[in-house]
Amino acid sequence: MSDTAALTTQRPSVAELEELAYELRAKLLQLCGTYEGAVHIGGDLSAADIFTALYQYGLSVDPTDIRNPTRDRFVLSKGHAAVCMYIAMAIRGFFSYDGIVDTYGQLDSAYGMHPCKVQLPGVECSTGSLGHGLPLAVGMALSARGRGESHRVVCLLGDGETGEGSVWEAAMAARSNELGNLVAFVDRNRQLMTSFAEERVVFEPYPDKWAAFGWNVVQVDGHDMAQLVAAIDALPATDSDRPTVVICETVKGKGVDFMEANLAWHAGSLGAADLERAMASLDASRQKESV
């Protein structure tokens, strides 16, 4: 994504990215089956393809040089999806997956239920309070502009949190400051914690709202890796004057039939039988999509 911070390895193909997304989902389910507490598995699964596309293809980062000033910055605004980000980072080579499984959610663990930049090097912002990520990303993008730097700042939001006024204040500030180096990805799974989105907050016409704030709007199927890659490849240059939002239509719990679009699986844990059932469903979904 960045002109200055090249990926350290050749970027994978769409088919390879699809395999990595399957690996991410499988490892998410394995962690959910071993952790004693609840995991925000529904929103993790809806964002798994986005995380894969970003960490394995889009973000110009080097796991061996995490403070490189030319690196792209990533802000996870939907901080409750932290474990999905951790596993995506582990697959990218930042740290080991086993370390996540061994300590996730424990006191003083680097892998908390929400990301903490103090505890985990490679995390750019501590997040968790919904609606705060985009304002932070705007500040980072504005700072980069002021220093003449050309990396991107990428922020992943859940659609539910875009009901927060702070998101739209940030959206207005980003366009006012002509932050073409800022990209927002929205996990548009259309579910809140206890209800479907449009039942509580009317978001539609959703793309028009972003366009009204002066953003370049891109709409994709958030589970179609080819569309995600194409959206990344087509991003305007970082010195352009409009921020970009990529609205990713997704399904909460994607890949596991009994979790998909099921309000009961905003968060939860898996016993041995449920884990076996979930993995069988994930494998069946993978085979169906490969036909």
Q: Using CA atoms, how far apart are residues 135 and 150, in angstroms rounded to an integer?
A: 19
For residue 147, pLDDT beyond 80? yes
- Per-residue confidence (pLDDT) for residue 290, from 0 to 100: 73
Closest CA to 18 of 218, 228, 181, 206: 228
For residue 107, pLDDT beyond 80? yes
pLDDT digits 0-9 by tens, 169-206: 999 999 999 999 999 999 999 998 888 988 888 999 99
**Residue 15 tokens, joined:** 């088919």
Closest CA to 161 of 126, 134, 141: 134
- Per-residue confidence (pLDDT) for residue 2, from 0 to 100: 45
- Per-residue confidence (pLDDT) for residue 186, from 0 to 100: 98
What per-residue string of b and e applies to 144-169 under the rule 16 or more CB within 10 Å gives b?
bbeeebebbbbbbbbbbbbbbebbbe
For residue 7, pLDDT beyond 70? no
- Per-residue confidence (pLDDT) for residue 4, from 0 to 100: 37
Residues 72, 153 contacting (CB under 8 angstroms): yes
Q: Which residue has the higher pLDDT, 7 or 226?
A: 226
What is the SS3 assignment for 128?
coil
Residues 20, 229 contacting (CB under 8 angstroms): no
Question: Minimum mean pLDDT among 167-171, 213-217, 266-270: which range?
Answer: 266-270
pLDDT, averaged across the chain: 94
- Per-residue confidence (pLDDT) for residue 288, from 0 to 100: 81
> What Cα–Cα distance (Å) separates residue 200 from each residue in 157, 169, 196, 203?
18, 21, 7, 9
- Per-residue confidence (pLDDT) for residue 32, from 0 to 100: 93
For residue 88, pLDDT beyond 50? yes
Looking at domain 14-290, its CATH superfamily turns out to be Thiamin diphosphate (ThDP)-binding fold, Pyr/PP domains (3.40.50.970)
Q: Using CA atoms, how far apart are residues 78 and 94, in angstroms rounded to an integer?
A: 20
Give the mean model confidence (pLDDT) for residues 44-66.
98
Q: pLDDT band at 5, cuts 50/70/90?
A: very low
Domain range list for the chain:
14-290
- Per-residue confidence (pLDDT) for residue 154, from 0 to 100: 98
- Per-residue confidence (pLDDT) for residue 194, from 0 to 100: 86
> What Cα–Cα distance (Å) separates residue 12 from each residue in 20, 51, 192, 226, 237?
10, 14, 33, 12, 22
Share of the chain above pLDDT 90, in %: 88
pLDDT digits 0-9 by tens, 276-290: 999 999 999 888 887
Give the mean model confidence (pLDDT) for residues 199-221.
96
For residue 222, pLDDT beyond 60? yes
